[in-house]
Amino acid sequence: MRIKFLSVIVSFLIVSFALSSCLDSDDNYEFSSDATIHAFGIDTIHGKHYKFTIDQLNRLIYNRDSLPVGSDTIIDRILIDTMTVTGWITSGSPTDTVFVMSDSVDLRPAMNNDAGMLFKAHAADGVTVREYKLKVNVHLQDPDSLVWTDMQKRGNIFSNTINLGQQKAVVLGDELFVYTSNSTAYKTSTAPDKYNWSKVNVSNLPSDVKLTSAVEYNNALYMVTESKRVFSSTNGGAWTEVTTLGDNVIVLINGFSDRLSGIVEINGKQYFNICKDGKNWEAENTADNLTLEEVPAGFPTENISTTQTNTGNGVEKVVLAGMPLANEQETIPWFSLDGKGWASLANTVYDTSCPGMVNPAIMYYGDMFYCFGGELDAIYNSITGIAWSKTETKFLLPQEFKGKGAYSIIVEPTKDKTVAPADKRDFIWVIFGGNGTKNEVWRGRLNRLGFEIQ
């Protein structure tokens, strides 16, 4: 309960002090003038304690880690279990009353409200008072939900022309490129508030270039041609042939931070090799010096999708999926720690493999592997990349995706040390188009990856 008639109580205390002084004039008592709230805390929310910070300069009490969605039904009647002061606390309007810790309190007026709730800390001297404001931050979004944005509502589409040929989207720096031919591309900033397409004139890409082979490495784009040559560009428009990589390149595989993996053809057989400088293969790849690992049967060589994670020891690990499928019944991921050799993550346990899907996209996202593709009617998840299950709630594809046709899927990670929510990325870009499919752009993100504190 709250004790009312505070003025009467304070007057009684002052009179008591005065009488005590008269009864023993030789004893001098000095009461503290410390009117500081030293610690603050509330009862658990779903079994978890949330830390509150006290900004003494601005006299603000707040929680950096927001309470979960739906907490308003808990904090409407909750205990403040920590309120450390040397004197006492009052609160209330228009009349202050002494705050009693054993009473539950309704904190909803402080929820996401800059005006907050006011508390007064009274020093033991009965004179010094400091006023504090409490703000309780609560998430308004379910952190584990995947939310999609139809970018046609944010701006014009890059082209209304339906492309009958190949089409590919790729990110370079802070820009998203969509290549519709060997001479035309479009780009936009990936910043949330700068979505605006412009046309890019592409030069020096040969007519037999495989647009779907486009990868990014070390601030440059690379594509492979049907004639097994490699071309690169640092701005997405002007391209030059990388003659030092030869004319026997089947595919380039990105994902590693310090190297490109690739497949080269020698005497009719295919081998893995790596390139660190973007210009030269690390191992000599001639018929007279074959130290390379041969590509195993079933390894994909087209429409490859890669994702990066780390082993338990912190070693960089790249996982991929692509075409053609080893069999129509399942999509088998492959992994590598160095790009020089790849191992299958085939699952031998019945009914836990990832179903077969055309042009699968794989990603390690929010501490979980996800794979989707084909008809775009489902997403499958896995902890290790071996045993897979269909996601049933929250992390889902929009109904509008189902059966749309050709697409490119890109995951744009947030740069290291980014804290401000407005600067965070972790966007999943899905760009429809090519092979007679209408152009559309969608962007998704797991809610919690956009929070300041996850």
pLDDT confidence of residue 443: 95
Is a pLDDT exceeding 50 seen at residue 10?
A: no
**Cα–Cα dist 329/327, whole Å:** 6
Closest Cα partner for 154 from 185, 193, 186? Answer: 193
**Cα–Cα dist 343/341, whole Å:** 7
pLDDT confidence of residue 12: 43
Is a pLDDT exceeding 80 seen at residue 9?
A: no
322-329: list long-range contacts, CB under 8 Å, 24+ apart.
Answer: 322/359, 322/360, 323/358, 323/359, 324/300, 325/300, 325/356, 325/358, 326/297, 326/298, 327/356, 328/356, 329/353, 329/355, 329/356
Phi first, then psi: what are they for 322, rounded to 5°? 180, -160
Residue 128 CB neighbours (<10 A) = 17
pLDDT tens-digit readout, 216-266: 999 999 999 999 999 999 999 999 999 999 999 999 999 999 999 999 999
Is a pLDDT exceeding 60 seen at residue 336?
A: yes
User: pLDDT-derived band of residue 148, with 50, 70 and 90 as boundaries?
Assistant: very high
pLDDT tens-digit readout, 253-306: 999 999 999 999 999 999 999 999 999 999 875 656 668 999 999 999 999 999
pLDDT tens-digit readout, 348-383: 877 899 999 999 999 999 999 999 999 999 999 999
Q: CA dihedral defined by 112, 118, 124, 129, rounded to 10 degrees?
A: 120
Mean pLDDT estimate for the chain: 89
Is a pLDDT exceeding 50 seen at residue 14?
A: no
Is a pLDDT exceeding 90 seen at residue 19?
A: no
Is residue 89 within 8 A of residue 83, CB to CB? The reply is yes
pLDDT tens-digit readout, 42-100: 999 999 999 999 999 999 999 998 898 889 999 999 999 999 999 999 998 777 889 99
pLDDT confidence of residue 416: 61
Set out the domains of the chain in order of their start, with CATH numbers: 6-135 (2.60.40.2340)
Mean pLDDT, range 391-415, rounded to an integer: 91
The DSSP secondary-structure symbol of 286 reads: B
pLDDT confidence of residue 291: 81
pLDDT confidence of residue 136: 96
In the chain, what is the straight-line distance between the N-terminal and C-terminal CA atoms, in Å? 37
pLDDT confidence of residue 22: 47
Percent of the chain's residues with pLDDT above 70: 89
Is residue 336 within 8 A of residue 342, CB to CB? The reply is yes
Largest CA distance in the chain: 110
pLDDT tens-digit readout, 416-454: 655 565 566 789 999 999 999 999 999 999 988 877 655
Quote the strand ranges of 144-235, DSSP E.
146-150, 168-172, 175-179, 184-189, 198-201, 209-217, 220-225, 230-233
pLDDT confidence of residue 421: 55
Residue type, 281: W
